[in-house]
Structure formats: structure tokens, C-alpha cells
Chain A
Amino acid sequence: MTSETKKALTGLEWAIAQTIDEPQQEDEFTAEEFSRASNLGITQARNRLDRMTGQGQLSKRKILMDGRQTNLFRKAD
């Protein structure tokens, strides 16, 4: 391989590493976890979380979990 190819590989590996999601933190939870903890159905749990996010009480980010895009919630700062 040429030095240009090696350089391109190193650069791309770095770029790929930048796309790795930060894993779920201790103060973050999914809608499924909230549903279990609050004894609400999953749809009701999702609606409540969306409402609280809209009201600024929670913040939300997406990560890839088990190959699926998943919302993680945490108390807003």
C-alpha cells in the first residue's frame, strides 16, 4: 500500500472513532426503563417523556443500542 493509502486509512479510522456514541450514563434512562419503573404502558411512558422534554424538564439524545436508534433521557440541567 502507498503512504497515501495508509494516511487515508488512519484519517478514516479517526473519523469513524468520532462517530462512536458515548454509552448510556448512570443518570440516563430509556422509555422502556421508565415504563417499567413507573408501571406505565410504553406508549403512555413515551408520551409523558416527550411532554416533559417539551416542557424543558428533561433533555434527550439518541444513541445506537442493539442496532436500533434509541432515545436516552436525563433530568435537564
Chain B
Amino acid sequence: MAIKRFLYCADSHGDLIHDESRRKLLKFAAEWKPHYRIHGGDLWDFAALRGGASPEDKANGISEDYAAGMKFLDEYKPDFLTLGNHDDRIWQHTNNSRDGILKEHCAALVRASEEEFKRRNISFIPYVVGKYLQLPEGGPKFIHGFRSSNVSPAKLHHGDWGSCIHGHVHKPDTYVATHVDGGMSMSAGCIGDIDAMSYANRFPAKMGWRQGWIYGTINDRTGSWHAWHVIKEGDDWISPMGNL
């Protein structure tokens, strides 16, 4: 039996990345030496492409956001990327936009992005409900996340995907299934800067958001897995290994 280590982070949100989280994560990755690095999506923010984007959002464009996302990819070096709803905006416009010019230019960026992933040996999973990442040894399903409720998000995702690790809600959460077969799901904190995500300043759910990520192990013989949160609480970074 051998133990495979994995590291999962999500929601870095392009140029809204939280620099301290980025530095802590990269240091942790260097020490943990995971066999698999996973980025769980929302690599970019793409505020200028959301429905109802303000003129200011649009005027800010996407270049800095995109470049910051790519810089983080080059530092974190994930093996896998499960695209998130923010990333998916360029795929959505490519497939569904009624604006022909926007559609055409989004399609060009989709092609370029897929080529960038390929050059970096990153396998990506599209933001589609039935698609997920499962590692060769087994373990949980890895997704970005779809449910937006911050009330027991891990339990909600467990109901649809079974044992899984997801991001999307920016709120660390764990659900241990209560049936005989066991199972567990976990919601990760985020690498994006919570304070900078001002669009959510009126959402009470934001009070549950935390900077953080998830790391874990998989038994390569049985596929059983264990995982743990790293969460920033105040000025401290708490993990089962202690204060990082």
C-alpha cells in the first residue's frame, strides 16, 4: 500500500488573488510535496463578462485578471483544473452569446486558453454538472461546485455528487455521511481576497468565507481517503499540523 498525497485549492479569482494565501499555499505545497495538485476553478474572475457587468467592470477589461490567473497557474503548477463558473464565462459566451462579435472573440480566447493548459500539461474539466475529476487511485470526486447555499454546502454537494471536494462557496465545511457505506464531502476556503470581492458585501453568507485550501491522502490500494482543511483565522493559519 502506498499513500498518494493531493492538494486542492480553488477560487483564486485572477487579479483578486489574496497574496498572503498565495504565498502560504505555495510554501505548503513545497513542504507537502503532493503527488497531485488540483486547482478547483475560478482561476479568473472575468467580472467584465458577467451578466449585468457595470460600465466600470467592462472598462477594467480582462487582461490583468487573465495574466494574474496565468501567473498563479505557473506558480502553483496544477496537474488538473476543474473550471469554475467564473472561468466558464468565456465558454458560455462562445456557445450562447447573442452578440456575434463578443462570441467570436470569446471563442478565440477559449482556443488560446485550452492551448495554454495543454502547454503546461494541465488536464481541465469543463464546468458541466456531470463532469468531475477522479484520480486514478480513487478518492473523492473533485469539482468546482454548483450549489450556492452557504448552509451546509458540503452536505448539499454530497447529495448530488457523493463523496466530493469542491470550492465555489468560499466557506470551509465538512459533511460526514451517516449511512453504513460512509463517505464524506468537503468545501474549501478560497485563495481569492475576500475583502476585495466587494460584489458580495451585502450577502450575509460572506461572513462564513475564509481564506484556505484542502490537502489529503488516498490509499492507492483501497481508494479510501482522508483530507483536512487549512483555514486562516484572524492572523493564524490553522491546520491539523498546527499554525503554518
A residues apposed to B, CB below 8 Å:
1-2, 4-5, 7-21, 23, 64, 67-68
Contact = CB atoms under 8 A, between A and B. Distances in A.
A19 B111 CA distance: 22
B70 interface: yes
Label chain A's interface by main secondary structure.
helix
Nearest to A3: B112
Nearest to A10: B63
Given A9-B66, A12-B108, A14-B105, 19 more contacts: A1-B70, A2-B116, A5-B115, A7-B112, A8-B109, A9-B63, A10-B63, A12-B90, A12-B109, A15-B101, A16-B48, A16-B58, A16-B62, A17-B58, A19-B99, A20-B58, A23-B55, A64-B55, A67-B52
Nearest to B59: A20
Q: Name the interface size band of chain B.
A: 20 to 34
A18 B113 CA distance: 22
B67 interface: yes
Contacts of A11: 105, 108-109
A9 B48 contact: no
Contacts of A68: 52
Interface in B88-116: 90, 99, 101-102, 104-106, 108-109, 111-113, 115-116
Q: Quick one: which of A5, A12, A18, A21 has the most chain B CB within 10 A?
A: A12
Given A2-B115, A4-B115, A9 B52 contact: no
Interface in B5-32: none
11 contacts: A1-B67, A2-B115, A2-B119, A5-B115, A7-B108, A12-B90, A12-B108, A16-B58, A17-B61, A19-B58, A20-B59
Contacts of B61: 13, 16-17
A13 B105 CA distance: 9
Contacts of A1: 67, 70, 116
B111 A8 contact: yes
Among A13, A17, A67, find the residue whose CB has the most chain B CB atoms closer than 10 A: A13
The 4 closest A-B pairs by CB, nearest first: A5-B112, A8-B108, A15-B105, A12-B105
Interface in B186-233: none
